[in-house]
């Protein structure tokens, strides 16, 4: 070996050692960084894969066919408007999610839509695809509590956040609640506690009630909540007619109701079932004998049943567009929605919009899409301005504490425009309406 | 036991059953003659309703709506048979089921595209609005009218099937279509007419039912399930079986609702299961289509 080559070899060895040392330091530092990351935000669900690019994906399942199709389409419009506003950094979204600039944590929000047909198995299959193929960071949508409960379970199993859509069952944030699920809309218990007093005040004590109940978790829990409340005023149940979802005819159920001797009919049906059963109740002359109460209002009900059928009828709801006279954010929402879709929004659309706004708020506050951190923000009790005033999530069951709106149907002659179906009678504050957090058996489960 | 309610439910079962019998008769004569299980039959029911709705909106006349709904679906049925179904006669039953199922989906989605999912209503004619007191109960007048309309429609169908040359060929075709063909009768023309009549029965029922239950694009889906049950109970391919099956189904749905309404539809399927166990071809089914 010559001196030159020896020197080159030494230099090479030195270079090698230097590079090895740098690499070693780098590797050590890297492993330290990764161990810190692993400790604080280890991979879980679609984290971090779902938020590594310039965009994040939301999986939406709403019924676009079947008995809840109309309400599903309306809900979808609310989601679409919210995504548009989030990506554009619209003032309405910024008023609700105060840390939002554009997108969520600077990432564009994209979404996919599947028809759930209001069937739990169909919704779960579609959302499973969104999770595995699109790495959805949020799944959402339901107009049936059976779907909401099924997606709750999927969310907890897959560790992906689920914001329930329309879901009126007590079980969604009750016995079937999960750590990974949240709900913004009203439900059986709050509906009953809100509309119960005005029902008793209007019709008196010790009345007989007939119920028309859809045969699944929503129907059973709403009817139970109404029965429990009205029992305190001496009301009894003359009959409870349980009908399958999507029944093509209600005549046999309505005959039983007509012959039950009830004073008041509480129609718990929803979607087209509510429309059809109400129209057929009119055909059977039931409203000549008894009054109608709607404990959980169906969007578009008054529009679809037609005539003066809903005139004077009390209903509990989540949102009605004339709340724009009371809440500035409601006014902004109604104007934006009508500008885009050409009609006044119903409560399903408002619910969809608010779900996404509340999620954007939670992620922005968390500063990360890491699900346990986002969940902890939902649970920290911070107050949020919404289209129905100040609201917050209850940490024990992930239920939004929000008012319930009581409306009364107007006569056609009293309507100021073609969509002026209801008067807002009362905005009932949410907190006193709610059961104790553990009353419905909620056990949220683990973060990881 | 509330006796007036029992009688009222029996009566209601008769009304429900009459409508089911009419829809089922269309399905069963198509299967009986052509051997094709038409899964687009529910869509025909729906289209009849919407066509009648459009005619009513344009004219305000209930009779015109009924005629328009039935006629349009008959023409549609003939077109479907000539353009699509005819090519599937020689193919396996699975292919026939798939093509008619697909047609049903296409029709439903086309209507949804045109009308949206918001329900549409056709009011009963002014002379049939309100309720009628029957002594044991009050009952919607229009539903009483429906029984009469359906009875007349079924009578006409009966006369066509049992008192005309066409009906004789149809019944012969149910027994042995190859023999009818070999006698020099144009079986395919008969098939086309039968498909049109079968579809028309569904379309007619669709518009007659529109004042009873508001229209949505999915309205045929749920009625289709009941129709199948009726056809299976009565005997697949049997016209009298469809009527008997419809009347039985109506009574089951109505009477079981007195005991537990949540199980009335379950009872319908239970009855079908029992019939299949005791008489696999249905109550009035024959061996000819085996």
A167 and A285 belong to one structural domain:
no
A104 and A118 belong to one structural domain:
yes
Report if residue A31 sits inside a domain: no
ipTM of the complex: 0.84
On chain B, the residues whose CB falls within 8 A of the CB of A255 are 5, 8-9, 12, 137, 254, 257
* Two tokens, residue A15: 């270079």
Report if residue A279 sits inside a domain: yes
| Structural domain harbouring B55 | 11-218
Report if residue A229 sits inside a domain: yes
pLDDT-based confidence at A128, cuts 50/70/90?
A: very high
Which of B49, B115, B261, B265 is most worth mutating to test chain A (most A CB atoms within 10 A of its CB)? B261
Query: Looking at the complex, does the CB of residue A145 fall below 8 Å from at least one CB of chain B?
Result: no
Give the residue from A288, A321, A354 where a domain finishes: A321
Closest chain A residue to B7, measured at CA: A255
Report if residue A427 sits inside a domain: no
Report if residue B148 sits inside a domain: yes
pLDDT-based confidence at A21, cuts 50/70/90?
A: very low
Report if residue B144 sits inside a domain: yes
pLDDT-based confidence at B287, cuts 50/70/90?
A: low
| Structural domain harbouring A341 | 49-187+329-403
Report if residue B260 sits inside a domain: no
Number of domains in chain B: 1
CATH number (domain holding residue A107): 3.40.50.2300
Report if residue A441 sits inside a domain: no
A195 and A290 belong to one structural domain:
yes
Q: For every residue of chain A, which 3-state class applies, written as one string?
A: CCHHHHHHHHHHHHHHHHHHHHHHHHHHHHHHHHHHHHHHCCCECCECHHHCCCEEEEEEEECCCCCCHHHHHHHHHHHHHHHHHHHHCCHHHHHHCCCCCCCECCEEEEEEEEECCCCHHHHHHHHHHHHHHHCCCEEECCCCHHHHHHHHHHHHHHCCEEEECCCCCCCCCCCCCCCCEEECCCCHHHHHHHHHHHHHHHHCCCCEEEEEEECCHHHHHHHHHHHHHHHCCCCEEEEEEEECCCCCCCHHHHHHHHCCCCCEEEECCCHHHHHHHHHHHHHCCHHHHCEEEECCCCCCHHHHHCCCCCCCCEEEECCCHHHHHCCHHHHHHHHHHHHHHCCCCCHHHHHHHHHHHHHHHHHHHHCCCCHHHHHHHHCCCCCEEEECEEEEECCCCCEEECCEEEEEECCHHHCCCCCCCEEEEEEECCHHHCCCCCCCCCCCCCCC
On chain B, the residues whose CB falls within 8 A of the CB of A251 are 12, 15-16, 143, 254
Report if residue A299 sits inside a domain: yes
Q: What's the whole-model pTM score?
A: 0.87
Report if residue A446 sits inside a domain: no
- What tens digit of pLDDT does each residue of B101-156 get? 999 999 999 999 999 989 999 999 999 999 998 888 889 999 999 999 999 999 99
> Is B185's pLDDT higher than 90?
no
Report if residue A2 sits inside a domain: no
Query: Looking at the complex, does the CB of residue A272 fall below 8 Å from at least one CB of chain B?
Result: yes
Return the pLDDT at B277: 95
> Is A38's pLDDT higher than 70?
no
A56 and A183 belong to one structural domain:
yes
A163 and A105 belong to one structural domain:
yes
Q: For A306, which of B121, B138, B253 is closest by C-beta distance?
A: B121
A276 and A395 belong to one structural domain:
no
Query: Looking at the complex, does the CB of residue B138 fall below 8 Å from at least one CB of chain A?
Result: yes
Q: For B257, which of A253, A276, A283 is closest by C-beta distance?
A: A253
Chain A nearest CA to B65, separation (Å): 20
Give the residue from A304, A321, A338 where a domain finishes: A321
Give the residue from A321, A342, A363 where a domain finishes: A321
Number of domains in chain A: 2
Query: Looking at the complex, does the CB of residue B121 fall below 8 Å from at least one CB of chain A?
Result: yes
pLDDT-based confidence at A175, cuts 50/70/90?
A: very high
A199 and A220 belong to one structural domain:
yes
On chain B, the residues whose CB falls within 8 A of the CB of A275 are 119, 214
Return the pLDDT at A39: 55
Mean pLDDT value across chain A: 92
- What tens digit of pLDDT does each residue of B210-249 get? 999 999 999 998 888 899 999 999 998 889 999 999 999 9
A92 and A105 belong to one structural domain:
yes
């Amino acid at each position: 070996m010559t001196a030159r080559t020896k020197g080159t070899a030494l230099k090479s060895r030195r270079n090698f050692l230097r590079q090895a040392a740098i690499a070693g330091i780098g590797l050590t530092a890297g492993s330290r960084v990764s161990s810190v990351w692993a400790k604080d935000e280890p991979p879980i669900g679609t984290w971090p894969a779902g938020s590594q690019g310039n965009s994040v994906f939301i999986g939406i399942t709403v019924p676009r066919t079947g008995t809840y199709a109309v309400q599903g389409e309306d809900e979808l419009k609310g989601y679409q408007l919210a995504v548009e506003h989030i990506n554009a950094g619209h003032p309405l979204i910024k008023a609700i999610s105060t840390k939002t600039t554009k997108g969520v944590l600077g990432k564009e929000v994209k979404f996919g839509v599947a028809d759930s047909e209001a069937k739990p198995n169909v919704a779960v299959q579609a959302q499973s695809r969104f999770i595995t193929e699109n790495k959805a960071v949020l799944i959402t949508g339901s107009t049936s509590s059976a779907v909401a409960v099924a997606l709750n379970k999927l969310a907890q199993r897959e560790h992906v956040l689920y914001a329930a859509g329309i879901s009126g069952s007590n079980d969604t944030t009750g016995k079937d609640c999960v750590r990974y699920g949240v709900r913004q809309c009203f439900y059986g218990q709050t509906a009953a506690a809100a509309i119960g007093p005005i029902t008793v005040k209007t019709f008196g004590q010790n009345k007989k009630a007939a119920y028309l109940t859809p045969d699944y978790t929503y129907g059973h829990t709403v009817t139970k909540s109404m029965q429990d409340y009205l029992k305190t005023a001496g009301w009894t149940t003359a009959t409870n007619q349980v009908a399958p979802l999507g029944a093509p005819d209600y005549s046999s159920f309505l005959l039983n109701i007509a012959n039950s001797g009830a004073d008041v009919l509480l129609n718990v049906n929803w979607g087209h079932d509510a429309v059809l059963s109400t129209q057929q109740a009119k055909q059977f002359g039931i409203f000549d004998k008894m009054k109608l109460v709607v404990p959980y209002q169906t969007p578009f009900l008054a529009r679809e049943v037609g005539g003066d059928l809903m005139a004077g009828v009390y209903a509990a709801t989540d949102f009605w567009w004339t709340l724009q006279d009371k809440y500035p954010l409601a006014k902004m929402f109604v104007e934006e929605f009508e500008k885009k879709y050409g009609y006044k929004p119903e409560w399903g659309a408002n619910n969809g919009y608010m779900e996404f706004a509340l999620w954007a708020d939670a992620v922005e506050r968390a500063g990360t899409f890491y699900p346990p951190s986002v969940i902890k923000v939902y649970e920290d009790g911070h107050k949020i301005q919404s289209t129905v005033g100040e609201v917050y999530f209850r940490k024990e069951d992930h239920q939004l504490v929000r008012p319930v709106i009581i409306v009364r149907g107007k006569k056609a002659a009293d309507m100021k425009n073609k969509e002026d179906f209801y008067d807002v009678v009362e905005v009932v504050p949410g907190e006193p309406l709610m059961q104790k957090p553990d009353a419905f058996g909620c056990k949220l489960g683990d973060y990881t | 036991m509330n006796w007036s309610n029992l009688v009222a439910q029996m009566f209601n079962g008769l009304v429900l059953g009459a409508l089911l019998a009419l829809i089922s008769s269309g399905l069963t004569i198509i299967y009986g003659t052509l051997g094709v299980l038409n899964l687009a039959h529910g869509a025909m029911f729906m289209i009849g309703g919407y066509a009648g709705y459009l005619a009513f909106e344009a004219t305000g006349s209930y009779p015109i709506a009924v005629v328009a709904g039935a006629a349009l679906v008959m023409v549609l049925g003939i077109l479907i048979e000539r353009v699509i179904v005819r090519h599937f006669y020689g193919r396996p039953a699975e292919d026939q089921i798939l093509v008619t199922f697909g047609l049903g989906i296409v029709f439903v989605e086309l209507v949804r595209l045109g009308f949206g999912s918001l329900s549409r209503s056709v009011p009963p004619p002014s002379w049939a609005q309100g309720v009628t007191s029957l002594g044991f109960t009050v009952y919607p007048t229009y539903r009483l009218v429906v029984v009469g309309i359906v009875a007349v429609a079924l009578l006409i169908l009966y006369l066509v099937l049992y008192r005309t040359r066409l009906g004789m060929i149809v019944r012969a075709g149910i027994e042995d279509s190859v023999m009818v063909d070999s006698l020099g009768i144009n079986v395919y023309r008969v098939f086309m007419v039968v498909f049109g009549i079968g579809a028309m029965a569904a379309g007619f029922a669709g518009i007659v039912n529109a004042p009873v239950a508001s229209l949505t694009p999915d309205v045929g889906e749920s009625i289709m399930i009941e129709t199948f049950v009726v056809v299976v109970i009565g005997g697949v391919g049997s016209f009298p079986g469809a009527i008997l099956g419809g009347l039985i189904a109506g009574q089951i749905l109505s009477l079981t609702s007195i005991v537990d309404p949540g199980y009335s539809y379950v009872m319908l399927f239970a009855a079908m299961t029992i019939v299949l166990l005791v008489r696999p071809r249905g109550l009035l089914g024959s061996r000819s289509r085996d």
